[in-house]
Structure 1
Amino acid sequence: MIALSMFVVVLILLMVGIPVAFVFGSVAIAFAFLVPELGLDVFAVLPFRIYGIMSNTTLMAVPLFITMGLILEKSKMAERLLVSMSALFRDVRGGLAVSVVLVGAMLAASTGIVSASVVMMSVIALPLMLKAGYDKGLASGTIAASGTLGQIIPPSIILIILGDVMSVSVGELFMGAVLPGLLLVGLYISYILTRAYFRPLDAPLHSHKQQEKEGIKNFSLKEIIISIVPPLLLMFFVLGSIFAGIASPTESAAFGVVGAIILSQLNKSLNTQMLKYASMESLKLTGMIFMILIGATAFSLVFNELGGSDLILKFFSEDIGDVWVFIGFAMLGIFILGFFIDFIEISFIIVPILVPIMESFGIDPIWFAVLIALNLQASFLTPPFGLSLFFLKGAAGDSIKTIEIYKGIIPFILLQLLGLGLVILFPDLVFAFL
């Protein structure tokens, strides 16, 4: 019960808004100090665990993929990609929204940074969609949902973290997440086209002259190919080297950084200021993730010593003893927690508690990790604390109201849950490339 109260205290402090790493570390120290049979001696092994984290070659891929994404963002390639795709689908009702989904998928496969994708598409695509007469809810929902595809489509930062936390191959996780990611893309596009067909006023089809006035230029096929092919090639080489077993995720991430620099140079946008920006932002994001990981390690050390993991394992494996009840509880719990806390906290605190139970039921860890990743993607979309909604509102300003964003995102959250349900019912979606 002390361990469970420790868990509750952490959740309360996180919801209050105290920085995550400090919550984990301070609660661990407080409970270790207050419980006489534990004491601060429990932290004697913590330096060895921290050293293990810092020397983990798998986690080295995190700053490299972040750097690659930031370089691509600053090189304006992502911007050209979005505008070109908009021109490609200009004659399809709902084509602007479809192009946003496809660009979101391509950015996810080449950058994996949700914040950059959502902000960039909010700045570029949202004004185009609103000028074209798109329903504000449909426009905002499409942008927010498409920007979060980086959570599930490789190379995903969350998949790298889950691979480390669950002790599974990141390369296999990447391969297992490909079809579920494409499934979500297909569900989003199907919904947009269906809504545009039955409610044409939500996605008007304009003449070429009107579209040019709204900022959608008439790109030639050559210009479209030049905009689309380079990011696709980078994605192919980075992911292809992992899937073919030629390189580890860390090695392919390093290759991706070099590739992004080369593409920036070809795009004539490479400069010292860009490299400095990408390096500093990567340092900040990576520092935040590793600080949370160190705090979470201290928390799990005390939590396990207090018997919290054993209690939860006994409850599910002995008291309940049904694998589907456990999966249902796990998915529902992660989904609800996603309303209030970030995916990084969930990955470092909740997932390690679930891993022993998963192993006791004989659940495949790759499949379970993909389910968690799909579920965590929804945490970026769910009000009131969905980060994608904050990014969108911040970039959109007064052009769209918060309530309109909330209304627009609901259908995409339901599609997200539908995709999760389909992967639960059809595990072969994960194992197709394994």
Structure 2
Amino acid sequence: MIAQELFLGLMLLGLFAGILSGIPAMLAIAGVPLVTAVLGSLLGVFDLTFLNFFPARVYGVMSNPLLMAVPLFVLMGVLLEKSRLAEDMLAVLARMLGGSPRGMALSVLAFSAIIAASTGIIGATVVMLVLISLPAMQQAGVPKRTASGIICASGTLGQIIPPSILLVLLGDQIGNAYLEAQQKAGNFAPDPVSVGDLFAGALLPGLMLVGLYAVYILIVLRPTNGARPRVPSDVTAGEIVASFLPPLLLILSVLGSILAGIATTTEAAGLGAIGALLLAGYRDTGTLRGARPLILAAALAAAVLVFLSFAGIAAQTLALIAAALIGLGTLAAGLRLWRAGVMAGAVGETLKISGMVFGIVIAASLLALVFRGFGGDHMVEAMMAGMPGGTWGALALVMAIVFVLGFILEAVEIIYIVVPLLGPPLLGTDLSPVWFGVLLAMNLQTSFLTPPFGFALFYFRSAAPRDITTGDIYLGVLPFVALQLIALGVLIAVPGLATWLPTLIFR
């Protein structure tokens, strides 16, 4: 037993050392457990037959219909970012809210909350905010540290506001861990936990976080000496409708179809990808201009189909005509974007991001297998059971571990390391799995802002001017990390924020 504990400790230390060394996370997460397993086998403390289950695990990951939503949501976000719809929304918002420091800061926050539900791509969002909003915020008199914090924090809202790729991955892991834990506890028919549950559960906490950011901006933001805010120009109703209506309708269609039970998460992700393709194709004016009416007709047909689904109307002939228009419009939009060079870039970026996610998922599956082969699951159960405070003490330990790991690991890596290893002992109790999942999502939100490896900080640094130092960025995000921890504390104290809406909709 002592030898197994020693190997587990060495494996975890080697894992963190490998990740911090700069080699791809996927190789570290898979390679260190494999080497540890071979060494353990040579010393007689690990049975290599455990590894026979790994091919079945890989097949289970790659055939999981839920995880098919990941590349579709990524493609949706990349296409919306490349269509420049987001830039138009931010420009119109800034003119609507005025050129004052508070107005500019609130416009960036409001824009980020809206675009978070449609893209969820942190790198693209943060870089876009730096390039477009940072000069305007500085010109309006927003201090550079405050501007840095607002952009970094706002750019990460896509990880907590649904539909979010992070919530899709959490839903997959929480659902599997909850089912396994409940069956082990003797409950062989537990209510399944779906991504829709987490989407509904994260909606109110995500809006609460946006509200906390807004209150902070209203309280602390003051214009710098000598700053002369720009006088905003008039914004027409046509500009507002053209900028906000298409992405808002797309968001409502995707999220609404999931919450209404009309579509599964994967089906809704497909709807989002097609909708984003039509929006981007219609906006591109450089090629095949004659195809725009067909693309517009396809978008209207898609809206009709969604309306018929929500209304529960069965009109087969109308549905067939709409489907044909959508197919032709999608082909036309894809051809326009391909000729413009947008489609190739969007597909390449989608493959890159999705490949990283699935690589980590498969590698983490090997890690969990080796961890169990060394008896780590029994050690974790004993440790959780011995925590003072019972379930609450164990929950506090898991939250503390996730927060600390956020300083050195990426959110996806934390999900696939922590949930399979530490989640089952908690999910085998009466703890709400939806609440636990939203708590993890809110906690993981901090990992994008905590130095030294917060991804939002890296993206901001890559696009920010040189007069904003790394120290300015770190100091600027500290208040927002504190606000995230306050939101996490409120969510722990009031579980109903995460459980009320899913119960109302799905139960």
Q: TM-score, normalised by structure 2?
A: 0.81
1:237 paired residue number: 253
**AA aligned opposite 2:262:** I
What stretches of structure 2 of length at least 5 have no aligned partner? 176-192, 286-335, 503-507
**AA aligned opposite 1:378:** T
Among 421, 431, 441, the residue aligned to 1:363: 431
25-34 or 89-98, larger mean C-alpha shift = 89-98
Among 53, 59, 70, the residue aligned to 1:62: 70
1:423 paired residue number: 491
Cα offsets for 1:282-336 (capped at 9, x unmatched): 1111111111111111111011110112101111124546122112111111111
Give the 3-state SS of the residue equivalent to 2:460 in structure 1.
Answer: helix
Kept after mapping to 2: 8 A contact 1:134/1:203 = no
In 1: Cα distance, 2:238 partner to 2:92 partner: 10
**AA aligned opposite 1:180:** P
1:24 counterpart = 2:29 = yes
Give the 3-state SS of the residue equivalent to 1:271 in structure 2.
Answer: helix
Q: Which aligned pairs between 1:335-350 and structure 2 lie closer than 5 A?
A: 335-350=403-418
1:271 paired residue number: 337
417-426 or 269-278, larger mean C-alpha shift = 269-278
Q: CA deviation at 1:201?
A: 2.9
1:183 paired residue number: 208
Q: CA deviation at 1:16?
A: 2.1
In 2: Cα distance, 1:323 partner to 1:47 partner: 34
Kept after mapping to 1: 8 A contact 2:142/2:223 = no
In 1: Cα distance, 2:84 partner to 2:126 partner: 15
1:192 paired residue number: 217
Q: CA deviation at 1:33?
A: 0.8
Kept after mapping to 2: 8 A contact 1:94/1:205 = no
Cα offsets for 1:245-279 (capped at 9, x unmatched): 00011000000011111112332355112111111
In 2: Cα distance, 1:64 partner to 1:421 partner: 33
Kept after mapping to 1: 8 A contact 2:11/2:32 = yes
Give the 3-state SS of the residue equivalent to 1:377 in structure 2.
Answer: helix
**AA aligned opposite 1:333:** I
**AA aligned opposite 2:447:** S
1:112 paired residue number: 120
Kept after mapping to 1: 8 A contact 2:158/2:164 = yes
Q: CA deviation at 1:69?
A: 0.3
Among 286, 290, 293, the residue aligned to 2:354: 286
In 1: Cα distance, 2:60 partner to 2:115 partner: 32
Among 116, 128, 146, the residue aligned to 2:136: 128
Kept after mapping to 1: 8 A contact 2:403/2:446 = yes
Q: Percent identity?
A: 44
1:45 counterpart = 2:72 = no
2:145 paired residue number: 137
1:174 counterpart = 2:242 = no
1:206 counterpart = 2:229 = yes
Kept after mapping to 1: 8 A contact 2:141/2:229 = no
Give the 3-state SS of the residue equivalent to 2:451 in structure 1.
Answer: coil
Kept after mapping to 2: 8 A contact 1:135/1:203 = no
2:468 paired residue number: 400
Among 4, 8, 11, the residue aligned to 1:3: 8
1:225 paired residue number: 241
Cα offsets for 1:19-58 (capped at 9, x unmatched): 1111121112111111133243321111111000000000
When residues 143 and 52 of structure 1 are mapped into structure 2, their CA distance, relative to the original with a 3 A threshold, is: same
Q: CA deviation at 1:433?
A: 1.4
Give the structure with higher Rg (CA). Answer: 2
1:151 paired residue number: 159
Q: CA deviation at 1:205?
A: 6.8
Cα offsets for 1:84-111 (capped at 9, x unmatched): 1111111665011101111111111111
**AA aligned opposite 2:122:** V
Q: CA deviation at 1:355?
A: 1.5
What stretches of structure 1 of length at least 5 have no aligned partner? 212-216
Kept after mapping to 2: 8 A contact 1:94/1:204 = no
When residues 318 and 332 of structure 1 are mapped into structure 2, their CA distance, relative to the original with a 3 A threshold, is: closer
1:14 paired residue number: 19
Q: CA deviation at 1:394?
A: 0.5
**AA aligned opposite 1:221:** A
1:83 counterpart = 2:91 = yes
**AA aligned opposite 1:185:** V
When residues 203 and 65 of structure 1 are mapped into structure 2, their CA distance, relative to the original with a 3 A threshold, is: farther
Q: CA deviation at 1:366?
A: 0.7
In 2: Cα distance, 1:248 partner to 1:323 partner: 33
Q: CA deviation at 1:204?
A: 5.9
**AA aligned opposite 1:201:** T
Kept after mapping to 2: 8 A contact 1:94/1:192 = yes
Q: CA deviation at 1:348?
A: 0.6
In 2: Cα distance, 1:320 partner to 1:220 partner: 61
In 1: Cα distance, 2:354 partner to 2:230 partner: 46
In 2: Cα distance, 1:43 partner to 1:285 partner: 28
